[in-house]
Chains A and B, each alone.
Chain A
Amino acid sequence: MAEKISLSKKERLSVALRSTFLQGSWNYERMQNGGFAFAMIPAIKKLYKSKDDQIAALKRHLEFFNTHPYVASPVIGVTLALEEDRANGAEVDDAAIQGVKVGMMGPLAGVGDPVFWFTARPILGALGASLAMSGNIMGPILFFVLWNVIRWAFMWYTQEFGYKVGTKITEDLSGGLLQKVTKGASILGMFILGSLVERWVSINFTPVVSTVKLSEGAYIEWDKLPAGGAGIKQAFEQYAGGLSLSPEKVTTLQDNLNSLIPGFMPLLLTLLCMWLLKKNVSPIIIILALFVVGIGGHLIGLL
């Protein structure tokens, strides 16, 4: 029997780096197949010496594949382990390898999408964006660095994990861990979304509901202030003491809504968007419609 061939860390790292380009030739026919084959090349070169075996391996990995691009890493890890066994003469046929790939990609995509696209990215993005909106360069830097550290650590360690445990990982997946991660991510995500809706969706209704004349002493009497710095000081003191800036108390529609619960209208708007999306209205149509509403509402003085 020939000497056992195994993949060194160098080849595994090379595969992981190449898997960064997993979606490069994403296509409507077989999706990530080109990228998967592209990533596997260093391993195939090492494991199979005969041309026929190489050709068979390449064709095997040009079959349909599609999952979330980061959780593809554990799948690649397991596939590497299987290919290694096969190269060493174990009875691993094409169907087994294909079965593992297809069997893992579905459930893993179900984790990758909520965890990365719907939890990590919105949270890191909102964190970076809230800094960036005041012109702070730390916003983009923070987002970029954190994201790539998390991504790369995840990709490398899950690929190594997949390679080490081989096919056992499929049993792990049916355990509760995966479900727990997904549920934890959705709790985190929903909480943050709730706060984002309150903080960042802005609707301001400008119509004046009431104008009440305030009693004397409840507002700053500008004409009675001393001139110069002393007057400004006194004005600030009075303002801090709760006096109003003008003799009338103006209540806009927005003030009334805010006293119900701040962010009530943004919440309604978000629920409306959700409903429209469920009715299969394209998000682009909704976005364009909101711009039209914004312009129209501004013209008639409502917004």
Chain B
Amino acid sequence: MNIIQMILIVVVAFLAGMEGVLDEFEFHQPLVACTLIGIVSGQLVPCIILGGTLQMIALGWANIGAAVAPDAALASVASAIILVLGGQGTKGVDTAIAVAIPLAVAGLFLTMVVRTLSVVCVHQMDAAAEKGSFKGIEVWHIIAVCMQGLRIAIPAAALLVIPAATVQGFLESMPAWLTDGMSIGGGMVVAVGYAMVINMMATAEVWPFFAIGFCLAALSDLTLIALGAIAVSLALIYLKLAESGGSSNGGGSNTGDPLGDILNDY
């Protein structure tokens, strides 16, 4: 790998780090971050596959309120670098995924540290506001974003400095039972992300839609787009029916639920 490629990888890492907190362009999502590293390192296809597989695992990782999710940025950047250095091509994807998970924890820890350090930046902004200095606020805001970028760029640079042979040797020394087992584990880990999302959304009212989706997905002729179209239609129908049901029963305490009414009267 030449020096230009290394610099570009660090730049991608920097973008991913910034996005890890901004959550706007989605450079930190595995699908995007791994692909970008694949483009600059010349190993596009394995990196796309890694990105796709990691994306499935990371679907439910989201920052809610002040809670911080496992860090997709470090996980995708570092595992893509390891995949590229390992030189095993698409065969290395499973191992890279297994490496990615502990990295997501490390990244989570790092972002919490930076988010604490940002308190200092905000206090500098207060001081700048006191003086009416627009520049001061802008500079400190940008410094805070850059700290988040460095959070990923520095570990990425460190990984690049390690000789490729060391990474290859480490990956090849892993026995088959371990890597096979890890890829089996990887197939199950996806469920955790889904479970996180379901826990946020599930109410008794929407569970039936989960069941319909689950059963229809067994028909492998239906693509995700087809399933999406069915889902949108169902949602529209349901909302429409709920609305018309609501208006015909409008007024009073009538809930439009016959069983509920019976229970209320009882």
Contacts and interface: CB of A to CB of B under 8 A. Distances in A.
Interface of A: 20-31, 33-35, 37-38, 41, 44-45, 51-52, 54-55, 58-59, 62, 66, 69, 109, 113-114, 117-118, 121-123, 125-137, 139-140, 143-144, 147-148, 151, 180, 183-184, 186-204, 261-263, 266-267, 269-271, 273-274, 276-278, 283-284, 286-288, 290-299, 303
A218 B197 CA distance: 47
Contact of B214 (A144, A263, A297): A263
Given A143-B32, A270-B191, A284-B104, A58 B132 contact: yes
Nearest to B121: A25
Interface string B22-34: 1111100101100
A55 B130 contact: yes
A132 B51 contact: yes
A262 B217 CA distance: 9
A291 B138 contact: no
A22 B22 contact: yes
Contact of A187 (B26, B191, B211, B231): B231
A183 to B, nearest CB: 7
B51 A295 contact: no
Contact of A24 (B58, B141, B196, B235): B141
B55 A27 contact: no
Nearest to B220: A199
B172 interface: no
B62 A193 contact: no
B192 A287 contact: yes
Interface residues of B, number: 111
B87 to A, nearest CB: 17
Nearest to A132: B52
Given A195-B216, A198-B218, 13 more contacts: A27-B122, A30-B122, A34-B125, A55-B132, A66-B65, A128-B52, A184-B235, A188-B235, A198-B214, A201-B187, A269-B191, A276-B195, A294-B187
B162 interface: no
A196 B190 CA distance: 9
Contacts of A127: 224-225, 228
Nearest to A292: B185
Nearest to A148: B25
A69 B19 CA distance: 12
Contact of B64 (A30, A117, A191, A296): A117
B145 A24 contact: yes
B165 interface: no
Instruction: Count chain A CB atoms within 10 A of each CB in B63, B137, B234 and give the residue with the most.
Output: B137
Closest 7 CB pairs of A and B: A294-B185, A132-B52, A194-B213, A295-B181, A195-B217, A273-B195, A25-B144
Nearest to A276: B195
Contact of B66 (A66, A192, A196, A293): A66
Interface string B187-211: 1111110111111111101110111
Contacts of B53: 129, 133
Given A118-B200, A184-B235, A132 B48 contact: yes
A48 to B, nearest CB: 10
A191 B213 contact: yes
B70 A69 contact: no
B228 A192 contact: yes
Contact of A126 (B56, B65, B211): B56
B261 interface: no
B155 interface: no
Given A25-B141, A54-B132, A278-B199, A132 B35 contact: yes
Interface string B211-254: 11111111000001101101110111011001100000000000
B213 A132 contact: no
B266 interface: no
Nearest to B126: A62
B182 interface: yes
Contact of B138 (A38, A69, A147, A193): A38
A129 B52 contact: yes
A277 B70 CA distance: 14
A7 B148 CA distance: 32
Contacts of B195: 270-271, 273-274, 276-277
Contacts of B141: 21, 24-25, 34-35, 37-38
Contact of A137 (B44, B185, B211, B230): B44
A288 B98 CA distance: 10
Interface stretch (B2-10, B77-85, B112-120): B112-120
A56 to B, nearest CB: 9
B217 A34 contact: no
A188 B145 contact: no
Contact of B197 (A24, A33, A193, A292): A193
A37 B217 contact: no
A137 B227 CA distance: 22
B26 A148 contact: yes
B52 A287 contact: no
B190 to A, nearest CB: 5
A298 B180 contact: yes
A231 to B, nearest CB: 31
